[in-house]
Amino acid sequence: MEAGEIGGALLFLLAAAAALAVAVSTGAVDFSRALTVGGRLDFQDTISWFIAVFDGSSSSESAGGVSPADVYELWVRVRGGVIAPVLQVAVWACMVMSVMLVVEALYNCVVSLGVKVVGWRPEWRFKWEPFAGDDDEEKGTAAHYPMVLVQIPMYNELEVYKLSIGAVCELNWPKDRIIVQVLDDSTDPYTKNLVELECENWASKGMNIKYATRSSRKGFKAGALKKGMEYDYAKQCEYVTIFDADFQPEQDFLLRTVPFLMHNPEVALVQARWAFVNDTESMLTRVQKMFFDYHFKVEQEAGSATFSFFSFNGTAGVWRAAAIKDAGGWKDRTTVEDMDLAVRATLKGWKFIYVGDIRVKSELPSTYKAYCRQQFRWSCGGAHLFRQVAKDILAAKDVSILKKFHMLYSFFFVRRVVAPTVTCILYNIILPISVMIPELFIPIWGIAYIPMVLTVVTAIRHPKNLHILPFWILFENVMTIHRMRAALAGLFELSEFNEWVVTKKVGNNFEDNEVPLLQKTRKRLRDRVNFREIVFAAFLFFCASYNLVFHGKTSYYFNLYLQGLAFVFLGLNFTGTCTWCQ
């Protein structure tokens, strides 16, 4: 058990203790309220009422006729005796999950802020030395440089294939010590031909580049990477770097990452941070950047600094080939093959390093539908992987108890299951319904204090984006319905759990006029309108209007109207580069 793991565990306990102490001292937490609410629902009276309804007699006195007052009385009984208690159980379950979520967020935030304040760098913990003999590198005869395989998996990447291939071929590394492997699963013959011609063009310039295809797309990206590792030339490489088709590494990428692997034999992966070329293109890309910045600045930084474990992001990372083999190679059992490999490598005792100073340019999804598909694949795959590896994590012998707890509880359960579930159910379902159920009790600390803390935690690491924070909150509320649906699909292996849809790229830096302009086709209404969001918007508007007319004990209508508007805007695709009228 290492000092980083012990420190991480202590910080987690301190975060939990601090949250509990504040809640108790302020009197915010009060579990003394009875769970059962509302009046007693008499079963015999209810049956008698229904018999009277269908009795057929017109006399209300003799045949049990039903008046509006009787209907309202029955509604009050059912509401207080059946609906409210069921929802109350759901409320307390959400409160527990909310506390779990806020403690996890506080812990990650404290660690990441501590890393920033003290100026902690991976070099403090892991040995790193620059390559000597730059002159030899320029001559291409530096035998002390290890063999590196750079894999670029792609699928119909017409808009961006030149960007990634060109950037990789210009990496500062001896030409005889690097092999670029383009794994093309494209089904479009025109795109396939262009990619092959680009590879031949770089090969004519002296670059050791290989163009590889498959007869089928079995296993999708994992299948392509696995097939690429089977070639004889790939087996000669000590390290493997992966870049998706829209990623453009800086020329010194290998010079800054490979030394960590060379001087630390226990390290399997060096992960770089993503940067974005289109993060200011629209409000959609701006809020996406906030999401990814939090992931890298907080979650990845905290995992690397404490437990030397985090999820491989599938690209912009360098693997030790021996670690991939030791972990069992690439597997296609989930849609998050990168996370799967990272978990299996960790269970074998390997460590990871996250280097936030190294950034690789990439592209954010430019349409709402593309982003939803991307998030669905990631959320579904993460929950599905949790289902598959939980027993393996518990049985692992090369992993400490603290790291097992971090992987099972923090990494998988809280982030992949709890986070999407509680945010969707509490804020998009229970809270709107509560305006019509006055017997339902929702603690103020659960719907006000905890969201406020989570917002502050997010804002601390994004001070430059405070002006778009309200839009980010509304956007994330909408995204929770997709993430929760994905998490449930993956956890219970529902019909959509193994779907793989490649994220559409735009390639806004691509200016080659050899690519023909594709004729725009008129989209069907169901492709232009997101009906799930529209239905949710109608539900929220109804609840908000009810609350506005019948105030009762709560006044949530302002928040509900804002949420409803967010669902409408995204339902009609009024963000990104596509709208319902296109």
Contact 223, 214 (CB under 8 A): yes
DSSP letter (8 states) at residue 360:
E
Sequential DSSP letters for 448-486: IIHHHHHHHHHHHT-GGGGGGHHHHHHHHHHHHHHHHHH
Q: How far apart are CA 166 and CA 276, in angstroms?
A: 17
Quick one: how far is CA 401 from the chain centroid? Answer: 26
Distances (CA, A) of 47 to 50, 51, 54, 64, 88: 5, 6, 11, 12, 25
The set of catalytic residues is 185, 338
Q: How far apart are CA 131 and CA 256, in angstroms?
A: 9
**CA–CA–CA angle 94, 98, 101 (5° rounding):** 140
Element (H, E) at 151: strand 148-154
Displacement of CA 140 from its chain's centroid (Å): 41
Sign for the CA dihedral angle at 429, 435, 439, 440 comes to: positive
| CA 372 to chain centroid | 11
3-state secondary structure 48-87: HHHHHHCCCCCCCCCCCCCCHHHHHHHHHHHHHHHHHHHH
Long-range contacts of 251-256 (CB under 8 A, 24+ apart): 251/170, 251/171, 251/172, 252/172, 253/171, 253/358, 253/360, 254/148, 254/171, 254/172, 254/173, 254/178, 254/318, 255/130, 255/131, 255/172, 255/173, 256/355, 256/358
Nearest C-alpha neighbor of 416 from the set 478, 483, 326, 465: 483
Write out the H or E segment, with its range, that includes residue 392: helix 368-395
In SS3 terms, 224-255 reads as: HHHHHCCCHHHHCCCEEEECCCCCECCCCHHH
Cross-strand partners of 269: 319, 352
What residues pair up with 78 in beta bridges, in sequence order? none
The amino acid occupying position 318 is V
- Cβ neighbors of 24 (< 8 A, separation 6 or more) are none
CA nearest 432: which of 535, 291, 572, 531? 535
Which whole-number Å values give the CA distances from 485 to 376, 474, 535, in the listed order?
8, 18, 15
CA distances from 239 to 126, 221, 325, 423, 432 (A): 18, 19, 12, 41, 53
Nearest-angstrom CA–CA distance, 129 and 285: 37
Q: Half-sphere exposure of residue 274, counting CA atoms within 13 Å on the CB side?
A: 25
